[in-house]
């Protein structure tokens, strides 16, 4: 039996390791909003920057942890669901 190393387990592929963060939204849309916001900031006294800043905040708050290998949903290994997945796959907790 293999020992686990990491703090998450993937529900889809069973990989045990460390998660990566996936940010919602599209980067180029954010940059485009900032470009137009800066261009029109002089005319609107800076109020045009509210939209790109709001989009940036919304992207960061909707970020989720995903598996590095397959991009699937991950669970912490110390939760009941994580322990069940570890036992089902035959791993031994370190």
Query: How do residues 16-35 score in pLDDT, each as one tens digit?
Result: 888 889 999 999 999 999 99
pLDDT digits (tens, 9 = 90+) for 62-74: 999 999 999 899 9
DSSP state string for the chain: -PBP-SSEEETTT--EE--EEE--S-HHHHHHHHHHHHHHHTTTTTGGGHHHHHHHHHHHHT-EEE-TTT--BEEETTSHHHHHHHHHHT-B--
pTM of the model: 0.69
Structure tokens at 40: 């029109």
The residue among 35 and 3 whose pLDDT is bigger is 35
Structure tokens at 43: 């005319």
């Amino acid at each position: 039996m293999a020992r686990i190393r990491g703090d998450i387990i993937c529900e889809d592929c069973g990989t045990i390791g460390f998660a990566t963060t996936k940010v919602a939204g599209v980067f180029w849309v954010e940059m485009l909003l900032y470009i137009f916001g800066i261009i029109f900031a002089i005319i609107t006294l800076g109020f045009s920057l509210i939209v790109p800043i709001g989009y940036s905040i919304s992207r960061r708050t909707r970020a989720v942890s995903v598996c590095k290998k397959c991009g699937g949903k991950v669970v912490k290994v110390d939760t009941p669901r994580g322990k069940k997945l570890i036992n089902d796959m035959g791993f031994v907790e370190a």
